[in-house]
Amino acid sequence: MGDVKKYEVTNLAVTDLASESRTYEVEVDVDSLCRVDVRFGNSFGLRLDYENLEVLETLLFEARHVLQDRYLDEQAKLNE
């Protein structure tokens, strides 16, 4: 009989993220099935493969740059 791989989970992080209305405990795991689990407390979670993780990363990266540009524009207006 061949080697059977054991299912493993590596916990990468547990941290708190605050939204406007509440704080969520966010936990991120990577498993041996090549999936990433992102859980937002007991509210909801995402189970992503590599491709979808890249999509989410790109969206968050773009959103961060939009916020950064808006912040810099506001700072420039305050310094006029």
Regions of the chain where pLDDT drops below 50: none
The residue to which tokens 């969520």 are assigned: 24
Cite the DSSP H helix spans in 1-80: 50-78
**pLDDT given at position 78:** 84
Element (H, E) at 38: strand 36-40
pTM above 0.95, yes or no: no
Report d(CA 24, CA 58) in Å as an integer.
22
Residue-level pLDDT at 76: 84
- Among left, alpha and beta (phi > 0; psi -120 to 50; other), residue 34 is left
Q: Tell me which amino acid residue 49 is.
A: D
